[in-house]
Amino acid sequence: MENDRLFVHDIDTAVCAFCPYGSDFVAGQRILIYDEKTVFRRQTRERLVEVKGVKIFRSTGRQITLDLLMISDAECQKIAEDSDLTVEILLDHRAGAQNFDSKRPPVVVYFTPCE
């Protein structure tokens, strides 16, 4: 979608972002990501990145999978940190939950900075 935007906790260290309502981004696409940290003059920072992959996110409430493969606790923690969320919020984002939209399933977008 044209209005899709990625928001991360720290633009300098993030490598992925959780998108709770899906995304139309594809590998190879160059996009802007935004860092809404307001510590420095209350300014949103942005960076051009290249999308490396988009993986379908699923949660059972106990376990998270990306593209139907279970992920480690460390990877789950990294997704949560990069996305400025908690692991508990990620685990709660599952089918049947109030904030879940089955028409736009959640994804995790992986990216690298562009020069």
1 falls within a domain: no
Instruction: Return mean pLDDT, the chain.
Output: 89
Range of the domain at 57: 6-113
Cα(7)–Cα(26) distance, integer angstroms? 17
Position with higher pLDDT, 109 vs 43: 109
pLDDT for residue 85 is more than 70:
yes
Whichever domain contains 81, its CATH number is: 2.30.130
Residues 42-58, mean pLDDT to the nearest whole number: 89
Rounded to an integer, the average pLDDT of 81-108 is: 92
In this structure, is the dihedral angle defined by the CA atoms of residues 63, 67, 72 and 73, taken in order, positive or negative?
negative
Residue 89 scores a pLDDT above 50: yes
Averaged pLDDT, 96-113: 91
pTM of the model: 0.89
Please name which of 22, 24, 20 lies closest in space to residue 98, comparing C-alpha atoms.
20
Is residue 100 in a domain? yes
Phi then psi dihedrals of residue 71, to 5 deg: -110, 160
Containing H/E element for 78?
Answer: helix 73-82
- Inside any domain, residue 105: yes
Number of structural domains (the chain) is 1
